[in-house]
Every structure is written in structure tokens, then in C-alpha cells.
């Protein structure tokens, strides 16, 4: 049975999210704590610039931190500790360069949201939903049907066997870091349209991303997407009846339930121990 893909570097992978958000804000001179407007006619270029630069930063992190560890055949625990180190370093680097003040990014004047089944959804939230679906579907098709995507799955299953059949694992890893970090940069721009921008904004995304991945099933892109939507709906439906401060508690309660009763997730592959 194929091995599950490893979670090495997942913390530093997502920590580029607040970095790209703040770089994009500073690029257009939005320096104060007041409300500023995102130039719509340049939004596509900013989105592309942030994603590409985030991908380049992800590759640099891999070459400087994780590549030497792979050469030394470090354990998963060492990679996890290195991820935490990169996480803290980048978070403090953001504060050093851009400051710790809260920034706000907007595409236009604040408008009343749309009423759907008693809930309110804004245009920005619809945009985030649409772009996330497009990016997730594109990633799934890329991994499933392209030559590079198949090489990624092969290296995730068994790097040694992949190298035997002519796949260069290091080139594949570089591509994975670039694509994953670029997607994190895109997510940073999308999230910054909905919430405030601050150096620590990536930490909550990391926690919710890991929880969604476990709920959906580690190694399954459709499962991760399904887990994210399931978690989001559960949190927001839950705070209809209780205070909003319990939102994170709902997420961790769901995580504990899945770890106890279905650790493989919704669409994950069961291990031999779970089958027994």
C-alpha cells in the first residue's frame, strides 16, 4: 500500500501567506491603519505578482533549510522542528520589515451583503469562494493528469522507486514548494480582502488548514477541500447558537471526533491498523 504523503515543511509553507499580503499592501503604499482601496484595474497583476513571489520564497526556504536536512536523512521530527523555526523566523522578519501594525485592504466601498437562506454573504466572500474552487479544481486536475503531477504522486509514495524509473525527486520537490507557496500567496491576498492584515495572521490559517486536511483525509486534494468547507460550515453554523468566541473550540472538537472515530478522514486511505 502506498505511503501517505509527508507533512514536512507545512508550517513554513503557509507562513508566506501574511508575508505576501503585507508585501502587496506596501507595494501600493497602503501604510496607515485607515481604510484603503485596492486598485481594481491592477488587481490581476498584483495577484499574479504575489503568487509568483510567494512561490520563489517557498523554493528559497526549501533550498536553504529542508534540502540540507534531506541530504542528512533527517527524521520527520527534525523537519517538524525546522518548520517551527522557519515559521517563527519569517513571522518576526515580517514584523521587522513592515512593523506590527494592523493594515486593511479593500477593493471598494463597504456594501450590504446578499441574504441567502437567512445568512448574509458579501461580494468579497463570493469572490473568495469562487477563486478557491477554481484553484482547487485546477490543482486536482494538474496533479491527477499532468506528467509533473504524476511525478509528484510517485515521489510522495516512494522517492527511491521514483528515482529508479527516472524521476528526479529534487526537481519535483522544488516544483511542489513553488506551487504550494504560490497557492499560499494567493490565499494571503484573498484573506486580506476579508480580514485585517497582521504578521500573525498565518498561524490561524495553519491550524485550520491542518484540521481541514485531517478531516478530509491526508493526501487527498478533494478531501482537503471538502474538509475545509465542512469545517467552515460547522464553525459558522455553530456560532448561530453560541458565542463567536467558541468558534475555535468547535473546530478542535470536530478534530478530536475525527481522530477518535475516523482518523483517516472523509476521503483518506485507511491504514492496515484501522482496517483491523
Q: What is the pLDDT of residues 68-109, one digit of tens each?
A: 999 898 888 888 889 888 888 888 888 888 777 777 776 666
Domain assignment present for 131: yes
Does 178 lie in the same domain as 54? yes
Does 151 lie in the same domain as 103? yes
Threshold 0.85, pTM exceeds: no
State the residue range of the domain holding 28. 8-109+120-199
Q: Are 24 and 44 in contact (CB under 8 A)?
A: no
Does 16 lie in the same domain as 124? yes
* 180 membership: H or E segment, kind and range: helix 169-194
Cα dihedral 73, 12, 80, 163, rounded to 10, equals -30
Does 206 lie in the same domain as 193? no
Q: Are 167 and 155 in contact (CB under 8 A)?
A: yes
Q: What is the domain count for the chain? A: 2
Of 16-20, 79-83, 207-211, give the lowest mean pLDDT range. 16-20
Domain assignment present for 73: yes
Does 171 lie in the same domain as 46? yes
- Residue linked to cell 494592523: 102
Domain assignment present for 273: no
Domain assignment present for 95: yes
Does 212 lie in the same domain as 155? no
* 120 membership: H or E segment, kind and range: strand 119-121
Domain boundary among the residues 199, 232, 248 is at 199
Does 72 lie in the same domain as 209? no
**Residue 79 neighbours by CB under 8 Å, 6+ apart:** 6, 8, 9, 66, 69
Domain assignment present for 74: yes
Angle 1-163-176 from CA coordinates, rounded to 5° = 80
Q: Are 157 and 3 in contact (CB under 8 A)?
A: yes
Domain assignment present for 102: yes
d(CA 137, CA 242): 34
Residue of 7, 8, 5, 17 whose CA lies nearest to 205: 17
Domain boundary among the residues 199, 225, 244 is at 199
Q: Are 11 and 210 in contact (CB under 8 A)?
A: no
Query: What would the pLDDT profile of 145-204 be if each residue is shown by its tens digit?
Result: 999 999 998 998 888 888 888 899 999 999 999 999 999 888 888 888 877 787 777 788
Q: How many CB atoms neighbour CB 251 within 10 A?
A: 21
Domain boundary among the residues 151, 170, 199 is at 199
Domain assignment present for 3: no
* 194 membership: H or E segment, kind and range: helix 169-194
- Give the chain's mean pLDDT: 78
Does 215 lie in the same domain as 185? no
Does 152 lie in the same domain as 22? yes
Domain assignment present for 182: yes
Q: Are 198 and 18 in contact (CB under 8 A)?
A: yes
Query: What would the pLDDT profile of 230-262 be if each residue is shown by its tens digit?
Result: 888 888 888 777 777 788 888 889 999 998 988
Does 39 lie in the same domain as 168? yes
Does 22 lie in the same domain as 81? yes
Half-sphere exposure of residue 31: CA atoms within 13 angstroms, side-chain side: 4
Q: Are 51 and 186 in contact (CB under 8 A)?
A: yes
Does 191 lie in the same domain as 216? no
**Residue 203 neighbours by CB under 8 Å, 6+ apart:** 91
Amino acid at each position: 500500500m502506498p505511503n501517505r504523503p509527508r507533512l514536512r515543511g507545512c508550517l513554513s509553507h503557509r507562513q508566506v501567506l501574511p508575508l505576501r499580503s503585507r508585501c502587496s499592501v506596501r507595494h501600493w503604499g497602503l501604510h496607515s491603519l485607515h481604510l484603503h482601496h485596492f486598485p481594481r484595474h491592477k488587481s490581476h497583476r498584483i495577484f499574479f505578482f504575489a503568487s509568483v513571489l510567494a512561490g520563489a520564497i517557498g523554493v528559497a526556504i526549501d533550498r536553504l533549510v529542508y534540502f540540507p536536512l534531506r541530504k542528512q536523512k533527517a527524521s520527520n521530527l527534525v523537519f517538524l522542528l525546522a518548520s517551527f523555526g522557519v515559521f517563527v523566523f519569517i513571522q518576526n522578519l515580517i514584523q521587522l520589515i513592515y512593523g506590527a501594525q494592523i493594515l486593511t485592504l479593500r477593493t471598494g466601498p463597504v456594501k450590504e451583503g446578499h441574504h441567502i437562506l437567512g445568512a448574509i454573504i458579501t461580494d468579497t466572500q463570493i469572490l473568495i469562494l469562487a477563486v478557491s474552487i477554481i484553484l482547487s479544481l485546477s490543482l486536482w486536475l494538474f496533479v491527477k493528469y499532468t506528467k509533473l503531477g504524476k511525478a509528484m504522486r510517485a515521489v510522495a509514495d516512494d522517492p527511491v522507486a521514483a528515482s529508479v524509473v527516472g524521476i528526479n525527486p529534487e526537481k519535483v520537490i522544488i516544483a511542489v514548494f513553488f506551487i504550494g507557496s504560490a497557492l499560499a500567496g494567493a490565499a494571503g491576498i484573498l484573506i486580506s480582502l476579508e480580514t485585517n492584515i497582521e504578521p500573525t495572521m498565518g498561524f490561524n490559517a495553519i491550524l485550520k488548514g491542518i484540521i481541514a486536511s485531517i478531516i478530509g483525509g491526508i493526501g487527498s486534494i478533494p478531501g482537503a477541500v471538502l474538509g475545509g468547507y465542512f469545517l467552515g460550515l460547522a464553525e459558522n453554523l455553530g456560532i448561530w447558537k453560541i458565542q463567536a468566541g467558541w468558534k475555535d473550540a468547535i473546530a478542535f472538537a470536530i478534530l478530536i471526533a475525527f481522530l477518535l472515530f475516523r482518523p483517516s478522514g472523509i476521503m483518506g486511505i485507511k491504514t492496515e491498523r484501522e482496517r483491523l
